[in-house]
């Protein structure tokens, strides 16, 4: 199942699947501030990439990265060229700047993609798993942030949200329809 929309000359895709199988220039990883691997998407990315990923993170980012930011590494055994480790917010009720931090995590990845020369990037649903971000709101923030970025100056040609569940896919499809 795939939905697509054009944003100017750029394409925004939704698909169901496993982000570790995506053949794109960069995949975003829903990382934690320590950048040391974890569960969910983060664990899957680390397992699929192999031990070199964690070794690079430990060497280049010994102190991690704050919520709302992202850092880049090689992709090792993944079919992508880079992994962009984005730290989304833990949901704490919505009064702790969570929407802005989530938007910043997506934007940070897109900026890194441009800096690296990536033309295609795949995103998971950042913060919508163990971090507890309410799925309808998280989908809206994600889609609105990416659409706004693609309307500006960017060399990124394709952004794909790779969503694990049918329910999450439907929420992103609704957010994409609302974004026009």
Contacts of 126 (CB under 8 A, 6+ apart): 28, 30, 86, 88, 102, 105, 106, 133, 138, 142
Of 18, 42, 74, 114, the active-site residue reads 42
Contacts of 142 (CB under 8 A, 6+ apart): 102, 106, 123, 125, 126, 161, 172, 175
DSSP 20: G
Q: 13 an active-site residue?
A: no
> Can you say whether the dihedral through the CA atoms of 95, 33, 149, 136 is positive or negative?
negative
Q: Would you please indicate which residues are annotated as catalytic (active-site) residues?
A: 42
């Amino acid at each position: 199942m795939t939905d697509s929309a054009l944003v100017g000359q750029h394409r925004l895709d939704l698909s169901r699947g496993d982000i570790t199988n995506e053949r794109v220039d960069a995949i975003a990883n829903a990382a934690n501030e320590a950048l040391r691997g974890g569960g969910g998407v983060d664990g899957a990315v680390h397992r699929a990439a192999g031990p070199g990923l964690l070794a690079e993170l430990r060497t280049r980012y010994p102190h991690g990265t704050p919520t709302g930011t992202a850092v880049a590494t090689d992709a090792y055994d993944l079919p992508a060229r880079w992994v962009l480790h984005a730290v989304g917010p833990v949901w704490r009720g919505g009064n702790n700047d969570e929407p802005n931090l989530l938007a910043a995590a997506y934007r940070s990845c897109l900026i890194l993609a441009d800096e690296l020369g990536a033309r295609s990037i795949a995103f998971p649903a950042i913060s919508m798993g163990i971090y507890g971000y309410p799925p309808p709101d998280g989908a809206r923030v994600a889609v609105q942030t990416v659409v706004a970025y693609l309307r500006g100056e960017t060399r990124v040609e394709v952004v794909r949200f790779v969503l694990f569940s049918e329910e999450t896919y439907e929420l992103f499809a609704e957010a994409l329809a609302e974004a026009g």
